[in-house]
Amino acid sequence: MAALVVLLLALAATGGLYAAFAPASKAQADVTAQSLEIEEGKKLFAVGCSSCHGLNGQGSSDGPSLVGVGTASVDFQVGTGRMPAQQPGAQVPRKKNIYSQAEIDQLAAFVGSLGPGPVAPKAEQYTSTNPEDISKGGELFRTNCAQCHNFAGQGGALTKGKYAPSLEGVDAKHIYEAMQTGPQNMPSFPDTTMPEEQKKQIVAFVRHTTSDEPNPGGLTLGSLGPVTEGLFGWIFGLGTLIAVAIWVAAHTTKAKKS
Amino acid sequence: MSHDMSENLPESHGSAGEVAEHGNPFADPGLPAHEPRRTDIDERAAKRAERQVSLMFVVSMLATIGFIASFVAIDPDKIVYIFPLGKVSALNFALGMTLGVALFMIGAGAVHWARTLMSDVEVPAERHPIEADDELRADIMEQFRQGAAESGFGRRKMIRNTLLGSLALVPLSGVVLLRDLGPLPEKKLMGTGWGKATQAMPLELVNMSTMQPMKAEDIVVGSLTFAMPKGLTTHDEDFQQRIAKDALMLVRIAPEDIKDDKSRELGFEGILAYSKICTHVGCPISLYEQQTHHALCPCHQSTFDLADGARVIFGPAGHPLPQLKIITDEKGNLVATGDFAEPVGPSYWERAR
Amino acid sequence: MSSASSTTSGAAKPASTRAKPASKWEAAADWTDGRLGIYSLAKANLRKIFPDHWSFMLGEICLYTFIIIIMTGVYLTLFFKPSMGEVIYDGSYVPLKGIGMSEAYASTVDISFEVRGGLLIRQIHHWAALVFVAGMLVHMMRVFFTGAFRKPREINWVFGFLLLVLGMFDGFFGYSLPDDLLSGTGIRFMEGAILAVPLVGTYVQMFLFGGEFPGHDIIPRFFTIHVLLIPGIMLGLLVAHLILVFYHKHTQWAGPGKTEKNVVGMPLMPVYMAKAGGFFFLVFGLIAAISAIASINPIWAYGPYRPDQVSTDAQPDWYMGFSEGLIRVMPGWEISVWGGHTLNLGVFIPLMVVFPLVLVSIAVYPFIESWITGDKREHHILDRPRNAPVRTALGAAWISLYLVLLIGGGNDLFATHLHLSLNAITYFVRVGFFVVPVVTFIVTKRWCLGLQRRDKEKVLHGRETGVIKRLPHGEFVEVHAQLPQKDLHTLTAHEQIQPVQLPAQTDENGVARKAGVLTRTRAKLSRGFYGEGSQIPKPTAEEHHEITSGHGHH
């Protein structure tokens, strides 16, 4: 009996002790992990980014300061392969991403530590489960986005060789981050003027339109409006009809070639 | 003036069937003799062509049956994947293809029939000049003169003139009837819904995404926000007319980057409220490049420099975008205290420049 | 008994002198003829001769697509609601659920998704419309380049021109009806264009829209214009156009047995009936198949129209593309006139001056050409384009201008897809508008002259056989074969117009008289059209004889 009491007391004490100390050590561990991540990020940054943005992200003549751009910006720019940029031009294009997500997170942590800015979203922020979000997002998309990215997210021209890129195949997270941060010449749509919920709706619409949405009428011809329709009408419409007309009007082959 | 008939037709180089003289190598040798086709001389070939034609008509019948069957059987919402079209409506595809085949095969059958089995002997037909001969012409002229004389149209000038007068006037009734198609322009195009705002009773700007008023600190540099006047809702009867003039584009530019002093004054701490309606033909211009501060119109590519009072730097627009003066009220919300200083949207004759 | 009674009744009532019909079919035909006079109509037309050539069927493509458009259009009116009243969408298309829109837009979405086969009919209607206008343009070019517009067919050319212009505008009105984001943008453009008209612009705008843009009247009004007014006029013009085609009889290419006084081909009944009738089904079938495989104007994806929303790639259908190009590349000129009035030249010049000019220039061409040539004769044999170098070059220049403007109208898509600067394309079109037609004119004219020379060569020296012969002294020559008589005739059948001469500077009394400006202009133009350097003199029989007999066959 006494043994049992001692055991229970011991267990309680251990539990108590654990309860008292464990959170602190976890927080300790978190802080350590974070500073470790920032350290790692700093190393990656020095190799891949510092030649343009400076060793401490202060910017140079070749690249802007990254103080205050936030982790969302890094996640977008590196995650879509835009950064590191290959060459200067009217616009830095999307290309194959060369970093792992873990490395991107480390880079983001480092840049995030330079100054507060938009924070990369969590999955639940950009993943919509409500089908009504699609139509609400559609209306918001047409007010805020379609003027550059076209009604079906196919992108469009801007001035002097710049362009709004196609949204086809872009990750939901990256669409969300682009709205948060306003990469390159795209204006930003911060949470103060476009709340998280609305961003989620826009993402739902874009993902639906560019990937799930069927094309009931047949070939979309690029969803680019009347220009491609006109080309198709001339080539396959009138073109085929003229080919048929040639058959209709041609003389039938003679039995004996003269 | 007399017309000689033959003058109207150039000399022919020979007529059909006529064998030309050998002296002139370029003379018309006449229509070549008809050469038979296989189906003309080979009964088996003709039979084969007949079967082909019938087969096409049978395929058409089958396709029509297919059309009706598709119409009945396929759910309009059904989506199928068809290479290389992608995910398409099964009903649209089935109806279109069956209808297409049904129609095409009728045509193909008829043409094949004509090309293989109907006579293909080319024959000439005479042309007759369009112009009448002189005798007919003189006859008609005489008849007309007689009719005109009998009516007295030329002689009785009073009748003629009053008739012409009444015929000229009567269409005016139709023109007058068009008056109620719409109101007179008056000053309608001059002002916008922002005109309700005054110094004493400012009008809040409402964010078109959230439908909420905005504070100055909500608008960050590099962002783009669209706004309309408070009190307007999308279900209003006149929403479309109102938004066609009242829509605003809000940007914030670091004050030191704003090149136009007047524009800076109209704005609030670098927040500039421009009309979203292009001054060219009225498209909602909003392709804003936040680094260059250029706004491009998607319709005709007029480009405005929003950092320089929306000056036109490219494209067919004739004048800058109007800018609305904004301040903040006691709650810190962005408000307008009056209308645009000039009409928004495309320019028109009565618009003062 | 029966014969006796028939003779008596025959005596009582005057009997028709007509022979007893051999069959029920003939009896029915007799009955109709007694009321409509179909026999005399058929006499002129049943065995009417039509020449066969694929290019003569372009007009048929237009006729048939027009019929298809009318049939499908009538079907669409059964479901379309031309109203701008607001409704909240609650149909099966998820991305629009709960969104406010006009009844016009909602009913068009319903035609696409709720009416079985509605989407197909909509797509046939729209594809047929694109092909219709394209067909008219190509048909018109065929008539232009072959000189088929010459006397007696100038009026029919004008009818055809009016059909083209009306077709373009009716297409624009149809594009505007669904009240989707794209069509509303088009109407907005039209509003801006109307406002740019000096003096009356604002009045016309208010009257057309029933108030300020967009109001609630524009869709119902456009509907009436689109389905009744313009198609009605077009139907009338079309009938007149066809009557004239029958009345004038078809033109034909030069060839053996073909003269200005005949038309060679196969008779309407049965060959042409089968071919032309069959071609209708071929056209309809192909357009139905295209509508099964390719989407057109997916209005559900554009969303409903709101004046504060827009999508990039805002373009009209292709046939309005050249006016879109004009307006996109025009510099933004706006001037103040008469103290305080605004003249928006940036819109006024391209739309009210250049746009009509581009169109009218082709409408009046036949009259200009006949004035220059002074030719009063009828022409039924077609010109080969090479044999009218200046006309062909002018036509090619017009087409090149049209194409340059189409590039201007799609400048944003050319920019994104060819990775060019939007601004650079616009600058190119601004320069190209003036330069490209001139270059095209020069190149085409020279090309035509080259082809004329080649024809001459062929006539005089025969065609190359590809057979190489070694002469006794070792020289290699290619054997040229003399062309057969029919080819010699075909290649030399065209006539070569001589430039008009200025009247003598002095009259018969030796008094100097000066030719008027018009006369001198005409003479100058005539020299440009038909003078030296504008055509290669065609070979004469003497030349041919000399070569063929003198040197033997090369």
CATH number at residue A84: 1.10.760
- Check residue A36 and give its pLDDT: 85
CB-nearest partner of C211 from B15, B183, B287:
B183
Half-sphere exposure of C349 (CA within 13 A, CB side): 17
Contact call for A217 and B89, based on CB within 8 A: yes
Using pLDDT thresholds of 50, 70 and 90, give the confidence band for residue A33: confident
Cα-Cα end-to-end distance for chain B:
60
Whether the CB-CB separation of C177 and C104 falls below 8 Å is answered with yes
Contact call for C318 and A234, based on CB within 8 A: yes
C 162-181 residues with CB below 8 A of B? none
Beta-bridge partners for C470: C476
- Looking at beta carbons, which residues of chain B come within 8 Å of A178? none
Residue B78 and residue B208 in one domain: no
Q: How far apart are CA C349 and CA C355, in angstroms?
A: 8
Using CB atoms, which chains have 3+ pairs under 8 A with B?
A: A, C
Mutation choice for A interface testing from B53, B87, B287 by most A CBs within 10 A: B287
- What is the DSSP-derived secondary structure letter of residue C86? E
Q: Decide: helix, strand or coil at residue C21.
A: coil
- Looking at beta carbons, which residues of chain B come within 8 Å of A143? 208-209, 226
Mutation choice for A interface testing from C185, C312, C320, C486 by most A CBs within 10 A: C312
Residue B318 and residue B224 in one domain: yes
Six-digit token pair at C308?
Answer: 């504060």
Residue A188 and residue A160 in one domain: yes
Residue B228 and residue B97 in one domain: no
Total structural domains within chain A: 2
Contact call for C423 and A160, based on CB within 8 A: yes
Is residue A41 assigned to a domain? yes
Closest residue of chain A to B289, computed from CA coordinates: A185
Closest residue of chain A to B108, computed from CA coordinates: A248
Closest residue of chain B to C333, computed from CA coordinates: B318
Contact call for A193 and B116, based on CB within 8 A: no
Q: Could you tell me which of C241, C261, C243 has the C-alpha nearest to residue C251? A: C261
Alpha helices in chain A (DSSP H): 2-48, 50-53, 70-79, 101-112, 123-126, 132-144, 146-149, 172-181, 196-207, 226-232, 239-249
Query: Does A82 score more than 50 pLDDT?
Result: yes
Residue A89 and residue A151 in one domain: no
Is residue A230 assigned to a domain? no
Given CB atoms, is B59 within the 8 Å cutoff of chain A? no
Six-digit token pair at B324?
Answer: 């609305």
Q: How far apart are CA B247 and CA B225, in angstroms?
A: 11
Domain enclosing residue B60, as ranges: 38-116
Mutation choice for B interface testing from C212, C248, C266, C378 by most B CBs within 10 A: C212
- Looking at beta carbons, which residues of chain C come within 8 Å of A143? 306, 308-309
Whether the CB-CB separation of B324 and B194 falls below 8 Å is answered with yes
Query: Does A102 score more than 70 pLDDT?
Result: yes
Q: Decide: helix, strand or coil at residue C356.
A: helix
Closest residue of chain A to B109, computed from CA coordinates: A248
- Check residue B16 and give its pLDDT: 40
Is residue A258 assigned to a domain? no
Q: How far apart are CA C466 and CA C480, in angstroms?
A: 8
- Check residue C14 and give its pLDDT: 63
- Looking at beta carbons, which residues of chain A come within 8 Å of B208? 143
- Note the CATH architecture for domain C49-312: Up-down Bundle (1.20)
Whether the CB-CB separation of A171 and A78 falls below 8 Å is answered with no
Angle between helices C389-409 and C118-145 (to 10 degrees): 150
Is residue A243 assigned to a domain? no
Domain final residue, candidates B63, B97, B116: B116
Whether the CB-CB separation of B345 and C192 falls below 8 Å is answered with yes
Calculate mean pLDDT across residues A118-141. 92
**Residues with Cβ < 8 Å from B109, sequence gap 6 or more?**
B53, B54, B56, B57, B60, C278
Given CB atoms, is C278 within the 8 Å cutoff of chain A? yes
**Residues with Cβ < 8 Å from B65, sequence gap 6 or more?**
none
When mean pLDDT is compared across A1-15, A64-78, A118-132, C525-539, the lowest value belongs to A1-15
* CATH code where residue A127 lies: 1.10.760.10
Six-digit token pair at C11?
Answer: 């005596």
Is residue A255 assigned to a domain? no
- Check residue A7 and give its pLDDT: 60
Q: How far apart are CA B106 and CA B119, in angstroms?
A: 20
CB-nearest partner of C295 from A215, A230, A245:
A215
Q: Could you tell me which of C114, C72, C107 has the C-alpha nearest to residue C87? A: C107
pLDDT in tens, chain C (554 residues): 444 444 444 445 666 677 888 899 999 999 999 999 999 989 888 999 999 999 999 999 999 999 999 999 999 999 999 999 999 999 999 999 999 999 999 999 999 999 999 999 999 999 999 999 999 999 999 999 999 999 999 999 999 999 999 999 999 999 999 999 999 999 999 999 999 999 999 999 999 999 999 999 999 999 999 999 999 999 999 999 999 999 999 999 999 999 999 999 999 999 999 999 999 999 999 999 999 999 999 999 999 999 999 999 899 999 999 999 999 999 999 998 887 899 999 999 999 999 999 999 999 999 999 999 988 899 999 999 999 999 999 999 999 999 999 999 999 999 999 999 999 999 999 999 999 999 999 999 999 999 999 999 999 988 888 888 888 888 888 888 888 889 999 999 998 988 888 776 666 677 777 778 888 899 999 999 998 889 999 898 888 888 877 554 44
Residue A196 and residue A114 in one domain: no
Mutation choice for B interface testing from A135, A144, A158 by most B CBs within 10 A: A158
Residue A114 and residue A131 in one domain: no
Query: Biggest alpha carbon distance in chain B?
Result: 107
- Check residue B192 and give its pLDDT: 94
- Check residue C16 and give its pLDDT: 67
Cα dihedral angle (A57, A63, A68, A74), rounded to 10 degrees? -90
Is residue B163 assigned to a domain? no
CB-nearest partner of A254 from B35, B85, B314:
B35
Closest residue of chain B to C255, computed from CA coordinates: B28
Residue A99 and residue A136 in one domain: no
Residue B111 and residue B243 in one domain: no
Q: How far apart are CA C283 and CA C285, in angstroms?
A: 5
Q: How far apart are CA B238 and CA C212, in angstroms?
A: 10
Q: How far apart are CA C213 and CA C226, in angstroms?
A: 20
Q: How far apart are CA C554 and CA C549, in angstroms?
A: 11
Is residue A126 assigned to a domain? yes
Residue A74 and residue A134 in one domain: no
Given CB atoms, is C376 within the 8 Å cutoff of chain B? yes
Closest residue of chain B to A246, computed from CA coordinates: B111
Using CB atoms, which chains have 3+ pairs under 8 A with A?
A: B, C
Phi/psi of residue A129, nearest 5 degrees: -115, -10
Alpha-carbon distance values, C213 to A175, B279, C165 (Å): 35, 15, 26
- Check residue B18 and give its pLDDT: 44
Given CB atoms, is C116 within the 8 Å cutoff of chain A? no
CB-nearest partner of B92 from A156, A216, A247:
A216
* Long-range contact set of residues C450-458: C-beta below 8 Å, sequence gap at least 24: C451/C386, C452/C386, C452/C387, C452/C389, C452/C535, C452/C536, C452/C538, C453/C536, C455/C386, C455/C491, C455/C538, C456/C536, C456/C538, C456/C539, C458/C483, C458/C487, C458/C491
Q: How far apart are CA B273 and CA B325, in angstroms?
A: 7
Cα-Cα end-to-end distance for chain A:
124
Using pLDDT thresholds of 50, 70 and 90, give the confidence band for residue A15: low
3-state secondary structure chain B: CCCCHHHHCCCCCCCCCCCCCCCCCCCCCCCCCCCCEHHHHCHHHHHHHHHHHHHHHHHHHHHHHHHHHHHHHCCCCCEEEECCCEEEEHHHHHHHHHHHHHHHHHHHHHHHHHHHCCCCCCEEEECCCCCCCHHHHHHHHHHHHHHHHHHCCCCCHHHHHHHHHHHHHCHHHHHHHHHHHCCCCCCCCCCCHHHHCCCCCCEEEEECCCCCECEHHHCCCCEEEEEEECCCCCCCCCHHHHHHHHCEEEEECCHHHCCCHHHHHHCECCEEEEECECCCCCCECCEEECCCCEEECCCCCCEEEHHHCCEEEECCCCCCCCEECEEECCCCEEEECCCCCCCCCCCCCCCCC
- Check residue C466 and give its pLDDT: 84
* CATH code where residue B224 lies: 2.102.10.10
Half-sphere exposure of C114 (CA within 13 A, CB side): 14
Domain final residue, candidates B116, B141, B156: B116
Strands C86-88 and C100-102 turn out to be: antiparallel
Residue A84 and residue A150 in one domain: no
- Looking at beta carbons, which residues of chain B come within 8 Å of C305? 240
Query: How many C-beta neighbours within 10 Å does residue B98 have?
Result: 24
- Check residue C4 and give its pLDDT: 44
Element (H, E) at C102: strand C100-102
Residue ranges for chain B with pLDDT beneath 70: 1-23, 353
Q: How far apart are CA C60 and CA C68, in angstroms?
A: 12
Six-digit token pair at C160?
Answer: 């055809």
Q: Decide: helix, strand or coil at residue C180.
A: strand
DSSP A6-49: HHHHHHHHHHHHHHHHHHHHHHHHHHHHHHHHHHHHHHHHHHHT
Whether the CB-CB separation of B278 and B302 falls below 8 Å is answered with yes
Q: Decide: helix, strand or coil at residue A243.
A: helix
Using pLDDT thresholds of 50, 70 and 90, give the confidence band for residue A172: very high
Given CB atoms, is C188 within the 8 Å cutoff of chain B? yes
Q: How far apart are CA C202 and CA A64, in angstroms?
A: 49
Residue B97 and residue B216 in one domain: no
Given CB atoms, is B37 within the 8 Å cutoff of chain A? yes
Residue B204 and residue B320 in one domain: yes
CA distance C447 to chain A (A): 25
Residue A144 and residue A126 in one domain: yes
- What is the DSSP-derived secondary structure letter of residue C265? E
Whether the CB-CB separation of C222 and C455 falls below 8 Å is answered with no
Q: Could you tell me which of A133, A138, A159, A137 has the C-alpha nearest to residue A148? A: A159
Structural domain boundaries in chain C: 49-312, 449-492+513-550
Q: How far apart are CA B66 and CA B64, in angstroms?
A: 5
Contact call for C207 and B182, based on CB within 8 A: yes
Query: How many C-beta neighbours within 10 Å does residue B106 have?
Result: 24
Q: How far apart are CA A188 and CA C206, in angstroms?
A: 39
Is residue B292 assigned to a domain? yes
Residue A133 and residue A199 in one domain: yes
- Check residue A68 and give its pLDDT: 87
Q: Could you tell me which of B98, B104, B114, B111 has the C-alpha nearest to residue B37? A: B114
Residue B112 and residue B242 in one domain: no
Domain final residue, candidates A58, A89, A120: A120
Contact call for B110 and C188, based on CB within 8 A: no
Domain enclosing residue A104, as ranges: 18-120
CB-nearest partner of C123 from A90, A139, A217:
A217
Question: Could you give the ipTM of this predicted complex?
Answer: 0.91
Q: Decide: helix, strand or coil at residue A128.
A: coil
Torsion sign across C-alpha atoms A56, A57, A59, A62: positive
Is residue B181 assigned to a domain? no
